[in-house]
Each structure stands twice: as C-alpha cells, then as structure tokens.
Amino acid sequence: MNGKSCIIPRKVCWLLLFALMPLCSGSIDGSTPLETLSRDVIILNQHAPGEKVEITFISNAGFLIVSGDKKILVDALWEASAGDQTPQEVRELVGNASPPFDDIDLALTTHVHIDHFSPSVAGAHLENDPHTIFVSTEEVVRTLRSSFPGFSSIQDRVKAVQPEEGERVSLTLNGIDIEVLNLHHGIDVPVRNNAYLFTIGGLKMFHTGDIDVTFEEIQAYELFNDEIDIAFVPYFFMVFGGEEERILRESIKANRIIPIHIQPNSGRYTLENIDEEYPEACVFYGKMQTIVVSPQLEAIEEHAEDEEEQEEPVEEVPEEGGFCLGTLLLLSLLAAGGIVGKREE
C-alpha cells in the first residue's frame, strides 16, 4: 500500500468488518477508505519482513524507538527551553531510566542546544542505565564532561563522533548499525550537528536534528540510495516549499516523514496542514503519543482488501431491515472506535 496509512483504533474495527461479514445475512458497504480512520497505527511497506516498531514522541525532536529488545533514544535527553519543555514526569522517568526508558541501547544527541540536550538529564540517565551507549558531537561530550559531576563513572559509554562534511562514520553499538553524518545547523550557527541513519526492527530511519543545508550539500551524501523508511525532519521542510521540499523529495526520499521541532503555540495548525498536504507524513499531535509500525497489520489490511475485491454472492436478509449478531457487534465496535478517536483528538 503506497498511500497514507496513519490510522486509529477504528481501523481495526473496519478490518474486523471483513472478518465478520460471513456472520451477517445482509450486505454492508465497506467502501470507506481505511487510511482516513486513524493515527495510532501506520502501515508501512517494507523491503523485508521485520518486527513491530513503536515510535513515541517525547518533545521537540525527541523520540523513543523500540523494536523487540532494542531501544533507541534520539534527542530525548533534555529539560526545557524558552518555547517548549519535556513534561516533568517524563523527564524524571528518563533521568531515572525507569520504564519505558530502561535498558536503552543507544542515546543519540544531535547537538548541544538546550532543546536537544541537557547534561544533567543525560548524565543521570547514563548513571542509572549501565547498558546505554551515548553518541554525540565533541562539543556535547565536552559539555557533559565539564557539567556532570559523575562523568568518570559513565565516560566509557560516551562516544564523541564528529565526521567531516560529506563524510559518513559507520558504527555498530549494542548490536545496532548506525551511520553519523555531518549536516550543519546553518552557516551562521557555530554549532556542530550530527544526523543519524540507523536500522531497527528492519526499518531504516534517518533523524536530521536541526539542519539548514542546501540541496547540493545534502545531495552529496546520496541518501536517495539508502531506501529510508522513516525520516524525522524539521517541520519547515514541509511548509516552506522550494529547496526544502526538493531536499525531501529528491535527496532524502523517505517512505514516511515525521515532522519535528514544532513549537506548542503554533503546532496544531501547522501539523494539520502538514497532515493534509503530505500523504507520506505521520504526524504526532501530543507528547508521549505512540505510533506503531507493524508489518503484521499490513498483511491483515491487504487480506481485508483482497476479500473486499472478491465479489462473492451475499445472501438476502430473511427479514427486511433485520440485523444479525455480526452487524450489531460491528456497529458497537465502530461506535467505540469513534469515541476513542474523539477523545484522542
């Protein structure tokens, strides 16, 4: 399926519709597009079968990505800035390495700005989770070393990676393949920014951090050959058009795009426009919202569509206007899905 497939619980109800049809003696119109019904599950065509991947939005550009026993944090070890903040209760869970932020394999930070990195949160997490390997720029590592009193106890798991412009540095850490790219924050911004390309659950993901690059600068990395499944990209690449949109379409070429770095005071309107204009966008509307990328659900959906296309004869309703048990169950499920959808909005 190549169209947009960011869906909510009601999608499951429609999938059940096709399974329950044999129980019903009347015909039911199943023509409602499945992809318009939800944002909690996304169906993503994958090049090879993989595991379910859960992506949880924390705040700003921060995410928790989980598949099987592998966990990655990206730009999630920070506290607050002038325009946004990580919720206090979430910050405590991250710092204490409490579930779901326990047993993290990789903690990746793109750059030193306070809306992406806090030495106190990063240091606390690394102290409380002896499994985590931390990767960032030399500037971030220097800040962590000078600002966190317990640095000596975590330094063996802190990696400063600083590729040259146009260079990729490849690593395998805690069983996860990762490439680090140098994509600058802007010509006039004296801060190094690492972008990260990594594979988890059979999906290739790309997190840009904060970038302000030209088409030619990012094209040099030939990301269009990487067959990226999901890219985390600043929202303005999907708003301004022009060269930014060309970078999305021709340089990154991801199957799905998750907009990041949206400020709370203007976020909802921006997100709704992106959701409407970009079929490949998977939009998070709230902190700690989780999207599930599931090849298993993709198989269910394809089976349901195949069933719908088969024009099997339908038995006539024995009594005009009657409802069978399957129909009543379906209506109840759809009503429940509608209620859940409204509450989530």
Q: Look at 80 and 161; give whichever has higher pLDDT.
A: 161
Asked whether residue 154 carries a pLDDT value surpassing 80, the answer given is yes
What DSSP element (H or E) covers 199? strand 194-200
Q: Whole domain around residue 220: which residue ranges?
A: 44-293
Q: Are strands 194-200 and 176-182 parallel, antiparallel or unpaired?
A: antiparallel
What average pLDDT score do residues 28-54 get? 46
Residue 33 lies in a domain: no
Share of the chain above pLDDT 90, in %: 52
Residue 275 lies in a domain: yes
Number of H helices, E strands in the chain: 10, 15
Q: Flag the least confident range among 9-13, 160-164, 305-309.
A: 9-13
- The model's pLDDT over 257-299, given as tens digits with 9 standing for 90+, comes to 999 987 766 678 888 899 898 988 999 988 999 998 875 544 4
Distances (CA, A) of 165 to 12, 138, 243: 46, 15, 20
CA atoms within 13 A on the CB side of 205: 26
Q: Flag the least confident range among 12-26, 55-69, 102-116, 223-237.
A: 12-26
pLDDT bracket for residue 212 (50, 70, 90) = confident
- The model's pLDDT over 62-105, given as tens digits with 9 standing for 90+, comes to 999 999 999 999 999 999 887 788 889 999 999 999 999 999 99
Residue 301 lies in a domain: no
What average pLDDT score do residues 174-188 get? 89
pLDDT bracket for residue 306 (50, 70, 90) = low
Domain count, the chain: 1
Torsion of CA 223, 229, 235, 241, to 10 degrees: 60
Q: Considering the chain, what is the average pLDDT of its residues?
A: 77
Inter-residue contact 304 to 15 (CB < 8 Å): yes
Q: What is the pTM of this model?
A: 0.73
Residue 26 lies in a domain: no
Residue 289 lies in a domain: yes
What average pLDDT score do residues 1-13 get? 42
Q: Flag the least confident range among 42-56, 194-208, 308-322.
A: 308-322
What DSSP element (H or E) covers 275? helix 267-277
Residue 267 lies in a domain: yes
CATH no. for residue 185? 3.60.15.10
The pLDDT value given to residue 68:
93
The pLDDT value given to residue 302:
46
What DSSP element (H or E) covers 338? helix 325-344
Inter-residue contact 42 to 345 (CB < 8 Å): no
In sequence order, the 6+-apart residues with CB closer than 8 A to the CB of 245 are: 237, 238
What DSSP element (H or E) covers 245? helix 242-246
Neighbours of 310 (CB within 10 A): 6
The pLDDT value given to residue 49:
52
What average pLDDT score do residues 113-124 get? 94
Residue 303 lies in a domain: no
Residue 142 lies in a domain: yes
Q: Look at 319 and 122; give whichever has higher pLDDT.
A: 122
